[in-house]
Amino acid sequence: MLCAMDTIDCIKRVRKSALTLSLMSDSQRNSLLEKIKKALDENRFELKSANEKDINSAREKGISDAVLHRLVFDDQKINSCLDSLSSVIKLECPTGKKLAVRELDEGLILEKVSYPLGVIGMVFEARPDAMVQIISLAIKSGNGIILKGGSEAANTNKALRSVIHSALVDDDYILLLESHSDVDQMLKMEGDIDLIIPRGSNKFVKYCMDNTNIPVMGHADGICSIYVSDKADLDLAINVIVDSKIQYPAACNAVETLLINESIAPSFLPVLRDALVSNGVKIHGDEEVCKYIDVIRATDGEYDMEYLALELNIKIVKTLEEAINHIAMHSSHHTDCIISTDREEQLTFFNCVDSADVFANCSTRFADGFRFGLGAEVGISTGKLHARGPVGLEGLTTYKYQLTGTGQVVKDYTGANAKHFTHRELM
Amino acid sequence: MLCAMDTIDCIKRVRKSALTLSLMSDSQRNSLLEKIKKALDENRFELKSANEKDINSAREKGISDAVLHRLVFDDQKINSCLDSLSSVIKLECPTGKKLAVRELDEGLILEKVSYPLGVIGMVFEARPDAMVQIISLAIKSGNGIILKGGSEAANTNKALRSVIHSALVDDDYILLLESHSDVDQMLKMEGDIDLIIPRGSNKFVKYCMDNTNIPVMGHADGICSIYVSDKADLDLAINVIVDSKIQYPAACNAVETLLINESIAPSFLPVLRDALVSNGVKIHGDEEVCKYIDVIRATDGEYDMEYLALELNIKIVKTLEEAINHIAMHSSHHTDCIISTDREEQLTFFNCVDSADVFANCSTRFADGFRFGLGAEVGISTGKLHARGPVGLEGLTTYKYQLTGTGQVVKDYTGANAKHFTHRELM
């Protein structure tokens, strides 16, 4: 539904309708996804016309190429939405899964079963294809979904919502909000919404956390580092660093800081510099780095910056430990990588770096739900609770403990002649 | 350590020292627990003397018997602490577990591995044995722990801390706070603490949530209900209800509201009333109930009350659906139970009641980490994220994604001749 009327009312209808969705079988939910697929395919013209309006007004406002590129919803993007729907349909159903079955005593069976969270509130950037992906993950996991997309995509999002509604009809479990005041209202409804996922600036994530009692899944900055050990394969290091920086510099999993072991600095830095500069990368270096290569002098504050552009920092460190300490001080706990052929060093790095993704000898750009084999993602969590790193369907579920007895009472399990629990795992 | 000096300093030392603990093997952590066990056993006199001070001043203040009972730390309580330590030692190590191993492509292996959360801040009631249990779970899971116990137990807690310190020596990963202002300071240190677990009143849990950016694991009220269906075994129902109310009325998993199907009300209510009244239970009933038995007339507000005493509400409902709706309005999402011999009804109840624990035909008092076979618990979570219901060692862990490659870059997996991911599960 489109929230033209009273927001509170609409959100309460999502809560109610989400229960119906949660009770559906996997094949019922998949048939909803099939209907959405068909409707998108058959209403390309309507979707593209709405998108054209957004594109034109974005151009008039002089919006950057990067944003325009995300905003486009053409046949290619529609096709990739259809592919993505197909792959979500194929994923294993994340709810109703028995996570544990334990006999507590004869005739007293405990089952830990996965369930939908309930209702998710999601704020996302001006990317219409993201809206389709989020709706598909919500339906597959049996959750109601409240969406607020970037305002630049308002026309496309409304058209998408109307096409999806024409396919599903009875779909109050999907709600598209249109204004910031709707978002503020949503943040207040803690009894009706189970999780807020804000994608966007750190500032916006903090705004949500400060203004709601609903749990917020933090999707914050990506300040990612790569440490190059004195035991590194240096050709491999160059390849991985270049990919981590230039393959898509605006992504949160692009590298921002390189930490180079001092003993390889004299030989490695000139080669590294050439590889980066020839790819258009602007380099900031600490005092030591400036001794070997001609770069911009880095200031301390720059180690806390997410450039999101062809720009990075290089710092010399004496040891692996110094690299780990630097990362502890400056990392956003997203993705950090070590380049080293020594397995001991890799494991020390894995154990001591407190980030969602810890990599050895590969590009930081692999930090992604699809590449990790999760099918798709609603975002990347930099928090440690509930879900960490790329968040797929599993992150949209919770569990219940279902205990079925035959009249057992606790009194019999206490005192002098207490019965004993068997605690026998049945799966 | 005891926080006699600067709180900020002490908490930062916990953070640093927790890393050392996280790097220990299971047998190293178990040997710490063995040392604690030995020290408690050998220092009974010191512990009991400190406890006597607390008991005396509690008596002077006229504190209730229920609180006094929890406050006592005598030989029996010490013995049960030793037993509890032994059982925690026996539990499987919760960290370093491979939760998934997946080949993303040849030579590019993703491992999802469980890790300690880092540092936990725990506020708990005046129960010295709880302090021992919490410390043992923290050490076993490799987490630093900051504790603030009820002030009535201040002397016993300090003595416990000092006995444990004499056994462990280098144990900055355990910090005992002594004042409310220390707790306020703790709530501000979001970079150094990963999770706050407040046990106590709903009001205190809300105070924590409103005054920190650290995730809070809600351990709120227990407003538990039992629905008795027209398809119930009524003898079983009486047994289960009596146990759920009287076995330990001050516990959060004791029942507060009974929902009775109207068709059994005339015959069942008089028997139920006798069973409850003969056990000293005070009954509040709705208008319908008052037609059949002589009870206090219930007001609507009482359905939102946690009596924690020999007192409960009875309400007549027409259908299972009405019972489910009542629970949705008034439950604290802790534990709710159905008494019915019909498996379909049980499953509808399990699917539609949004509580951590959903039971059929057994006492609500089974909602407990030890009884569930989790070994022990830090509390019962009424939230849906991260951990739900009784929270044991698993709830004190998070995970990291460890990706080990041989130089792979994302560029090769995009564009026209893109390599494909194998996404092969290796466990």
pLDDT tens for the 427 residues of chain A, in order: 555 568 999 999 999 999 999 999 999 999 999 999 999 999 999 999 999 999 999 999 998 887 888 899 999 999 999 998 998 999 999 999 999 999 999 999 999 999 999 999 999 988 999 999 999 999 999 999 999 999 999 999 999 999 999 999 999 999 999 999 999 999 999 989 999 999 877 788 888 988 998 999 876 688 999 999 999 999 999 999 999 999 999 889 999 999 999 999 999 999 999 999 999 999 999 999 999 999 999 988 899 999 989 999 999 999 999 999 999 999 999 999 999 999 999 999 999 999 999 999 999 999 998 899 887 788 889 889 999 999 999 999 999 999 999 999 999 999 889 999 999 999 8
pLDDT (0 to 100) of residue A3: 53
Question: Which of A285-289, B108-112, B205-209, B265-269 shows the lowest per-residue confidence on average (mean pLDDT)?
Answer: B205-209
Please report residues of A whose CB lies closer than 8 A to that of B213. 209
Burial of A20-43, coded b for 16+ CB within 10 Å and e otherwise, reads: ebbeeebeebbebbebbbebbeeb
Burial class (CB in 10 A: 0-12, 13-18, 19+), A343: exposed
Angstrom CA distances, A332 to A367, A389, B67, B76, stand at 14, 12, 44, 48
Residue B2 has pLDDT above 60, yes or no: no
B-chain residue closest to A18, CA distance? B352
**Residue A373 near chain B (CB below 8 Å):** yes
Q: Look at B384 and A118 and tell me if their CB atoms are within 8 Å.
A: yes
d(CA A17, CA A172): 6
B-chain residue closest to A215, CA distance? B385
B-chain residue closest to A20, CA distance? B352
Mean pLDDT of B289-307: 92
Of A195, A360, A407, the CB nearest to B404: A360
Residue B235: pLDDT band by 50, 70, 90 thresholds? very high
Please say whether the beta carbons of A98 and A113 come within 8 A: yes
Q: What is the pLDDT of residues B5-52, one digit of tens each?
A: 689 999 999 999 999 999 999 999 999 999 999 999 999 999 999 999
Q: Look at B371 and A104 and tell me if their CB atoms are within 8 Å.
A: yes
**Residue A220 near chain B (CB below 8 Å):** no
Min Cα–Cα distance to chain B from A206, Å: 9
d(CA A194, CA A174): 15
Q: Look at B421 and A359 and tell me if their CB atoms are within 8 Å.
A: no
| 3-state class (DSSP) for residue A406 | strand
Burial class (CB in 10 A: 0-12, 13-18, 19+), A357: buried
Maximum distance among all alpha carbons in chain A?
Answer: 82
d(CA A357, CA A371): 13
Q: Which residues 63-122 of B are in CB contact (within 8 Å) with A?
A: 102, 104, 108, 110, 113, 117-118
Min Cα–Cα distance to chain B from A265, Å: 20
Please say whether the beta carbons of A69 and A248 come within 8 A: no
Mean pLDDT of B183-199: 94
Q: Look at A355 and B400 and tell me if their CB atoms are within 8 Å.
A: yes
Please report residues of B whose CB lies closer than 8 A to that of A234. none
Please report residues of B whose CB lies closer than 8 A to that of A233. 407
Task: Determine the Cα angle at B253 with ends B248 and B254, to 5°.
Answer: 50
Please say whether the beta carbons of A108 and A408 come within 8 A: yes
Q: Look at A410 and B247 and tell me if their CB atoms are within 8 Å.
A: yes
Please report residues of B whose CB lies closer than 8 A to that of A351. 22-23
Residue B251: pLDDT band by 50, 70, 90 thresholds? confident
DSSP label of A418: P
Q: Look at A409 and B351 and tell me if their CB atoms are within 8 Å.
A: no
Q: Look at B360 and A117 and tell me if their CB atoms are within 8 Å.
A: no
**Cross-sheet strand order for the sheet of B255-261:** A424-425, A98-105, A108-116, A397-408, B357-362, B335-339, B224-228, B255-261, B311-317, B282-285, B296-297
CA quadruple B360, B365, B370, B373: dihedral, nearest 10: -10
Min Cα–Cα distance to chain A from B177, Å: 24
**Cross-sheet strand order for the sheet of B108-116:** A296-297, A282-285, A311-317, A255-261, A224-228, A335-339, A357-362, B397-408, B108-116, B98-105, B424-425
First and final CA of chain B: distance in angstroms? Answer: 42
Give this prediction's pTM.
0.91
* Other Cβ atoms closer than 10 A to B28: 12
**Residue B249 near chain A (CB below 8 Å):** no
B-chain residue closest to A237, CA distance? B407
Which of A25, A99, A403 would you mutate first to test chain B, the one with the most B CBs within 10 A? A403
Residue B58 has pLDDT above 90, yes or no: yes
Min Cα–Cα distance to chain A from B163, Å: 30
Q: Look at B421 and A371 and tell me if their CB atoms are within 8 Å.
A: yes
Q: What is the pLDDT of residues B302-352, one digit of tens each?
A: 999 999 899 999 999 999 999 999 999 999 999 999 999 999 999 999 999
Q: What is the pLDDT of residues B352-390, one digit of tens each?
A: 999 999 999 999 999 998 899 887 888 889 889 999 999
Of A359, A384, A413, the CB nearest to B403: A359
Please report residues of B whose CB lies closer than 8 A to that of A403. 357-360, 362, 366
CA quadruple B411, B412, B417, B420: dihedral, nearest 10: -120
Summary mean pLDDT of chain B: 94
Please say whether the beta carbons of A302 and A330 come within 8 A: no
Q: Look at A421 and B373 and tell me if their CB atoms are within 8 Å.
A: yes
Mean pLDDT of B388-393: 92
**Residue A398 near chain B (CB below 8 Å):** yes
pLDDT (0 to 100) of residue A187: 96
Residue type for position B240: V
Residue B157: pLDDT band by 50, 70, 90 thresholds? very high
Q: Which residues 18-47 of A are in CB contact (within 8 Å) with B?
A: 19, 22-23
B-chain residue closest to A403, CA distance? B359
- Among residues B334, B362, B339, which one has the least CA distance to residue A409? B362
pLDDT (0 to 100) of residue B1: 58
> Which three-class secondary structure string do you get for chain B?
CECCCCHHHHHHHHHHHHHHHHHCCHHHHHHHHHHHHHHHHHCHHHHHHHHHHHHHHHHHCCCCHHHHHHHCCCHHHHHHHHHHHHHHHHCCCCCCCEEEEEEEECCEEEEEEEEECCEEEEECCCCHHHHHHHHHHHHHCCCEEEEECCHHHHHHHHHHHHHHHHHHCCCCCEEECCCHHHHHHHHHCCCCCCEEEECCCHHHHHHHHHCCCCCECCCCCCCEEEEECCCCCHHHHHHHHHHHHHCCCCCCCCEEEEEEEHHHHHHHHHHHHHHHHCCCCEEEECHHHHHHCCCEECCHHHHHCCCCCCEEEEEEECCHHHHHHHHHHHCCCCEEEEECCCHHHHHHHHHHCCCCEEEEEECHHHCCCCCCCCCCCCEEECCCCCCCEEECHHHHEEEEEEEEEEEECHHHHCCCCCCCCCCEECC
Of B110, B365, B386, the CB nearest to A410: B365
Min Cα–Cα distance to chain A from B408, Å: 5
B-chain residue closest to A234, CA distance? B407
Which of A112, A400, A412 would you mutate first to test chain B, the one with the most B CBs within 10 A? A400
pLDDT (0 to 100) of residue A4: 53
Min Cα–Cα distance to chain A from B403, Å: 5
Tokens of A171: 């779909």
Q: Which residues 291-350 of B are in CB contact (within 8 Å) with A?
A: 346, 350
Which of B87, B404, B414, B419 would you mutate first to test chain A, the one with the most A CBs within 10 A? B404
Q: Look at A407 and B118 and tell me if their CB atoms are within 8 Å.
A: no
B-chain residue closest to A406, CA distance? B361
pLDDT (0 to 100) of residue A220: 67
Q: Look at A247 and B409 and tell me if their CB atoms are within 8 Å.
A: yes
